[in-house]
Amino acid sequence: MIAHKCPHIQVTIVDVNAARIAAWNSDNLPIYEPGLEEIVKARRGKNLFFDTDVDKAIIEADLIFVSVNTPTKKSGVGAGYAADLFYIELCTRRIASVATSSKIVVEKSTVPCRTASSMRTILEANSRPGLRFDILSNPEFLAEGTAISDLSAPDRVLIGSLGTPEGKAAQAALVEVYANWVPREKVVTTGLWSSELSKLAANALLAQRISSINALSAICEATGADVDEVAHAVGLDQRIGSRFLKASVGFGGSCFQKDILNLVYLSESLHLPEVADYWRQITTMNEYQKRRFSQRVITSLFNTITGKKIAVLGFAFKKDTGDTRESPAATVCKHFLDESAKVSIYDPKVPESQIWLDLTVPGVQDGEEQVKKQVTICDSAMQAALGAEGIVVATEWDEFKTLDWQAVYESMAKPAYVPISPSLSLVGAELTSTENSFIFDGRGILDADKLKAIGFKVFTIGRGEEI
Ligand SMILES: NC(=O)c1ccc[n+]([C@@H]2O[C@H](COP(=O)([O-])OP(=O)(O)OC[C@H]3O[C@@H](n4cnc5c(N)ncnc54)[C@H](O)[C@@H]3O)[C@@H](O)[C@H]2O)c1
Ligand SMILES: O=c1ccn([C@@H]2O[C@H](COP(=O)(O)OP(=O)(O)O[C@H]3O[C@H](CO)[C@@H](O)[C@H](O)[C@H]3O)[C@@H](O)[C@H]2O)c(=O)[nH]1
């Protein structure tokens, strides 16, 4: 976006992953994001460059955005919760050892509160004498799928700095960059620690809304209320607002879970166990929602899905992205595989190789073979649905709304079931069989009445109708 909006600024993106840089320099960009390709193609080779020469880029830059990954730690102190700052530290040490002139170093990655302080210590202790490093915190608030519009017209840009004259001067320099396209009143300046914490806070509050509406969706299903009606009614209160209240099969994405767990760890480190428990509950509810949804599919299909074919529409964690990190679709597929179902998967943007990666455990050969026996990856929703007994909508891709559902219905299996109740004595009982194709709408995007008119049995997340 800087390259797009500021032709006078040269932007060089460097990464240690050579394959990714090669992809950025090719016709097949490594990520799908609406509107991104046009911008990259327009600026590449002019004021936008992709390179693996990290040192050269450090030496030449006046301002460096550190935007590396900060995943949840897998081992050691804080494993499962704390952010792994290994890549941040590696980058910072590289800047310190290579830089030959003073720099503004901008923390763009999402990091725990006070990370800037560690970065400053590393830079000051390891760099050439006489160089200055001013650290700024400039968290990123874009959401995937809408990244270009979020970056073009952000709700706000947040820039934190130390309160020293040098810190303020560095902050002003970055404000100038954003001022090329963002109205000044939307560029918010704060202290460093407030800026770092605001990023974790924003994600925790957003995810909290989803877990809240998902908790309500369970009550709706049990009572006959409709979660969309509830969300609409409460969202009209301006203090609550209508956005981010869409009940779903659970939230996914690389950020929410990681950043909430990071906040939980921070709270625990600060000896605030009640605060930690409060935030942890958001992810607990999210796990519950995914499990609850899968369980609903199983109970509706007469308590067993062994050997049954289930079509899963959508594998990305949300529409308009090919990203599958923490995708609820993947979790739900794994639940079905554990129950020995056959699963056919279709997603318009997720590469087939990524789906295999997400469903198999690296190094477990038997597991991989078993998954390949149970899973088919399809080129269309229609193909996935062929012969399936149930369809699960796991991602809210627009194309699912306009499928030819009549044709889908006709292509599905309709085995005659005899519902079995454990308490029912079968001797002499009058047995009724049903012939059904099921749809489980985990995103609440389909017109349930139309589908029912075709003949489907429909379950929509957060709607308490019997199916
Ligand atoms: N993805 C998002 O939508 C989003 C939004 C807001 C904030 N963030 C934050 O931005 C950060 C990056 O997220 P991401 O999704 O882009 O992660 P990512 O894993 O997709 O990309 C990080 C890149 O950094 C590279 N890298 C790692 N160490 C390096 C080093 N020492 N030198 C050069 N390159 C190095 C990796 O090779 C990788 O390509 C995280 O802190 C994340 O929380 C992400
Ligand atoms: O009402 C809603 C809104 C979202 N979701 C789900 O929540 C997840 C996250 O969606 P979203 O927040 O739109 O995408 P992300 O790319 O994960 O963006 C979040 O995480 C980024 C990384 O930190 C932040 O920059 C963004 O501000 C923040 O929205 C997805 O699975 C969505 O399907 C719902 O279930 N219901």
For 38-94, write each residue's pLDDT tens digit: 999 999 999 999 999 999 999 999 999 999 999 999 999 999 999 999 999 999 999
What pLDDT is stored for residue 465 in this prediction?
73
Counting ligand 2 atoms within 8 A of each CB, the residue from 200, 206, 242, 395 with the most, and so the one to mutate, is 206
Closest CA to 207 of 312, 303, 285, 128: 285
16 lines ligand 1 (CB under 6 A): yes
CA distance 69 to 51: 18
How large a percentage of the chain has pLDDT more than 90? 92
Length of the chain, in residues: 467
End-to-end, the C-alpha distance of the chain in Å comes to 48
CA distance 256 to 205: 10
Query: Is 433 annotated in some ligand binding site?
Result: no
CA of 238 from ligand 2 middle (Å) equals 21
What pLDDT is stored for residue 421 in this prediction?
56
Orientation of helix 352-359 relative to helix 365-374, angle to 10°: 120
Extents of the domains making up the chain: 1-200, 304-460
Cβ neighbors of 86 (< 8 A, separation 6 or more) are none
The residue contributing the CA closest to ligand 2 atom 13 is: 143
What pLDDT is stored for residue 430 in this prediction?
46
51 lines ligand 1 (CB under 6 A): no
- State yes or no: ipTM above 0.95: yes
Q: Name the pLDDT band for 379 (thresholds 50, 70, 90).
A: very high
Domain 1-200 and domain 304-460, same fold? Reply is yes
Domain at 304-460, CATH from 3.40.50.150, 1.10.10.60, 3.40.50.720, 3.20.20.105: 3.40.50.720
**What pTM was computed for the model?**
0.95
CA of 143 from ligand 2 middle (Å) equals 6
Query: Is 200 annotated in some ligand binding site?
Result: yes
Strands 434-435 and 416-417: antiparallel
* SS3 (DSSP) at 133: strand
CATH superfamily for domain 1-200 = NAD(P)-binding Rossmann-like Domain (3.40.50.720)
Is 255 catalytic? The answer is yes
DSSP H helices, 63-191, are 86-98, 115-126, 147-152, 165-178
Query: Is 20 annotated in some ligand binding site?
Result: yes
Query: Mean pLDDT score of the chain, rounded to an integer?
Result: 94
CA of 276 from ligand 2 middle (Å) equals 21
Q: Name the pLDDT band for 434 (thresholds 50, 70, 90).
A: low
CA of 60 from ligand 2 middle (Å) equals 35
Catalytic residue from among 91, 220, 255, 378: 255
87 lines ligand 1 (CB under 6 A): yes
The residue contributing the CA closest to ligand 1 atom 27 is: 68
